[in-house]
Amino acid sequence: MSAGRIVFSSDTGAFRNYLENGVNGYRIDFSKKNSLLKLIEKLNSDRALIDVIRKRGFEFSKKFSESDFDENICNYFKTFF
């Protein structure tokens, strides 16, 4: 997101909390055989949509500073010790 790229993620795990499907990226149900292919075809036919999703993702990523990320990672690993 912060690199201005569209994020594709499974509909499980941590990204579920950050990725709003079709708004700032896409969650994909990989159990459905052609879900990724259909999404790529949709984006390929609507280049303006690509720009919109990229911009929204980039704006969303600004909520997370590098120092916040570092602190969250450290806190996560502290739970193991």
Phi first, then psi: what are they for 29, rounded to 5°?
-90, 95
**What confidence score (pLDDT) does residue 76 get?**
84
Strands (E), the chain: 8-10, 26-28
Total-model pTM:
0.72
Please report, for the chain, the start and end positions of each structural domain, with discontinuous segments joined by +: 8-78
pLDDT in tens, the chain (81 residues): 888 899 999 888 777 788 999 999 999 988 898 999 999 999 999 999 999 999 999 999 888 767 777 777 888 888 887
